[in-house]
Amino acid sequence: MCISHFLLAGGPWLIPKNSGFFQLQSTFPAGAYNILFLENNKEVDLNRNVLDITFQGYFEYGITDKLNVITILPYKYISTSRNKLSPDSLLVGNLNGLSNYKLGLKHTIFDKKIKVACSVQSSFNTISKDLERGLITGYDANSVGFYAHIGKSFTGNLYSFLGGGYNVVSNNYSSFIDVHYELGYQVKPSLWTVITIDV
């Protein structure tokens, strides 16, 4: 199982009025990491292996046929290994708690062969942190983003969409541009193959 990108899941397609969709999602990493990648090809050595697992509930509901509310409640578990990779190391420990709670509204702009929607999405500082051990379950900030979504169903079993937006983040975090592309093909009635690219 993997995490769908927030508010871009579904792209420009909305859920009808008084209907809803709920999904439990999770990430199970292939292994621990000990390096953070920064801008300009810079890296930060964490000196311990870190394991990071997220579980979250995703809910989307049609307030009207042209307006959906979307929310995500993420829960995160983080732990650092007992094996030091260098003498100057993070303390060993673990932390679990909420990550950044997310809430958004998505509105249909154009609903013909090509679908167009826009959305506003916010994330809130509902995180847990243990700064002595260098552990935190999300961004120590709030954010608001403005998005556009465009997509098309080519046949009953092939679709594609592109979404992108600009996010403003508080607490001296960098604002960022977010782009998501998705191409999906229905192999069988109960099986879809989906390719996604996030930038």
Do 149 and 117 meet the contact criterion of CB atoms below 8 Å apart?
Answer: yes
Contacts of residue 153, defined as CB under 8 A and 6 or more positions apart, other chains included, come to 159
Summarize pLDDT for 3-23 with one digit per residue, the tens. 444 445 678 999 999 999 999
Summarize pLDDT for 108-158 with one digit per residue, the tens. 999 999 999 999 999 999 999 998 888 899 999 999 999 999 999 998 899
What is the model's pTM? Answer: 0.82
